[in-house]
Structure 1
Amino acid sequence: MTNLDELDKRILQTLQLDASLSNQELAQRVHASPPTCLRRVHRLKKEGVIAKQVAILSPEKVGAGLTAIVEITLDHQATEHQIAFEQLVAKEIAVQQCYRVSPGPDFVVIIQVADMAAYHALAHRLFATQSNVRNVRSFFSISRSKFETQVVLA
């Protein structure tokens, strides 16, 4: 874990809300000089605290309006089988998140696709054709009341 001082936390909180800010704008918002701010951001990237900066799209505006939350149970839960499943889903761009969980199913996967036909094709590829997948339980979002990407900074 990286030790973060108050300036680091202000920088991170501000970037979590809007990573498109110029260094000058960021420095003004966090009350630091631009060179200090730039050094801090570079250090936070180098240390892996800032994993990446992306644009977050509105799924329904780009034709990916179906969200599926899927529980997967494997037949064999040995580490190598779990890693193999993680590697399989990592190749699928529609799989936005994959979590190993306990207790209950082995994995919970968040999938974003265009429609039910696209989900069916993906489910066939990822689950039905895999001999180690024992059980799949899918839930489909009818409304998203909250979506955040921020991490709480203590």
Structure 2
Amino acid sequence: MTDDNALDDFDRRILRRLQVDARATGEEIGAEIGLSAAAVQRRIKRLRKLRVIAAEVAVLDPVAIGLPMTFIVSVELERERADMLDAFRKAVRADPNVQQCYYVTGAADFILIVLARDMADFEAVSRRLLFDNSNVRRFSTNVVMSRDKAGSVLPV
């Protein structure tokens, strides 16, 4: 981000508010931070253009939509060639059960956060992405016992 695109205190306050409630109006935000609704809307438009605001989405409760089980999966690949990494990334990005995928250092190559209806559903995901992939050397799975914090609000 260049100096012309630097975030000021008003931008940060707008971002904090939008992360908690993306449906907040310019009037509501403006009243809280001391700007006109038009000024807030101009700033939001600029933040979208700069891709500081990457998306505006509804955050769903996985349990409420029938996906009560969360799994943290460490994946070690057989080979770390660029084409093999890209193929694995493409497969996990396309799978709707995989909510997060991190390419990491350490013993594992990737860490996946996977949601499933039940163990049978997770087994289908693991077959599809892991067992049937000849480049997966091994993987280990942790079953989440309690979802104590799953955040989407960044400290701005």
User: What is the TM-score of this pair, normalised by structure 2?
Assistant: 0.94
Amino acid at match of 1:35: A
Instruction: Tell me which residue corresponds to 2:70.
Output: 67
Which residue of 2 is the match for residue 112 of structure 1? 115
Separation (CA, whole Å) in 2 of partners of 1:91 and 1:152: 29
Match of 2:124 in 1: 121
Of 15, 27, 32, which residue of structure 1 is paired with 2:18?
15
CA distance in 2, matches of 1:31, 1:80: 51
- 1:87-109 per-position Cα deviation (integer Å, ceiling 9, x unaligned): 11010111110000002200000
**Mapped partners of 1:15, 1:65: distance in 2:** 27
Distance of 2:33 and 2:76 partners within structure 1: 46
- 1:86-137 per-residue CA deviation (whole Å, 9 max, x = no partner) reads 1110101111100000022000000111111110001100001011011111
After TM superposition, the score normalised by the length of structure 1 is: 0.95
The one-letter code matched in structure 2 to 1:6 is D
**2:45 equivalent to 1:53:** no
- Which letter does structure 2 place at the counterpart of 1:104? A
Higher mean C-alpha displacement, 103-112 vs 77-86: 77-86
Q: Is the 8 A contact 1:14 1:30 kept in 2?
A: no
What is the deviation of 1:85?
0.6
Structure 1 residue 29: Cα displacement = 2.2
Amino acid at match of 1:47: L
Indicate the residue corresponding to 1:24 in structure 2: 27
Query: Aligned-pair distance for 1:61?
Result: 1.1
- Structure 1 residue runs without a partner (length 5+): none
1:3 equivalent among 3, 6, 16: 6
Structure 2 match to 1:103: 106
- Offset at 1:145? 1.2
Computed over aligned residues only, the root mean square deviation of the Cα atoms, in angstroms, reads 1.1
Task: Tell me the equivalent position of 2:44.
Answer: 41
Give the whole-Å Cα distance in 1 for the aligned partners of 2:95 and 2:33: 38
Residues 1:89 and 2:99 are matched in the alignment: no
User: Structure 1: which 4+ aligned runs deviate by more than 6 Å?
Assistant: none
Gaps spanning 5+ residues in structure 2: where?
none
